């Protein structure tokens, strides 16, 4: 997956944005974010899971669901 420019729009460079919505995992949680890199979004999801959902580590099944829910915005 690309972490850099994916196209030009209105004379400027449009950068890839990765997006995630916590509710996409079936949680009644409205937390969502966009980041320019997949690495950043994964780290911020881990912090959110730890702070908001009391998950100090993501279990393997949750990590797979999170990975599948991250998308290009």
pTM exceeds cut of 0.85: no
Q: Which residues pair with 14 in a beta bridge?
A: 7
Query: Does the pLDDT at position 8 exceed 80?
Result: no
- Can you point out the beta strands (E) in 10-70? 12-15, 18-21, 32-35
Q: What are phi and psi of 48, to 5 degrees?
A: -60, -45
Query: Tens of pLDDT along 11-37?
Result: 566 678 999 999 999 999 999 999 999
C-alpha–C-alpha distance, residues 17 and 41, integer Å: 10
Query: Tens of pLDDT along 41-69?
Result: 999 999 999 999 999 999 999 999 999 99
Percent of the chain topping pLDDT 70:
81
């Amino acid at each position: 997956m690309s972490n850099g420019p994916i196209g030009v729009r209105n004379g400027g460079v449009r950068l890839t944005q990765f997006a995630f919505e916590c509710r996409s995992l079936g949680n009644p949680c409205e937390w969502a974010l966009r980041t320019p890199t997949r690495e950043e979004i994964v780290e911020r999801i881990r912090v959110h899971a730890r702070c908001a959902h009391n998950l100090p580590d993501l279990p393997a099944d949750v990590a797979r669901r999170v990975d599948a829910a991250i998308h290009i915005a």
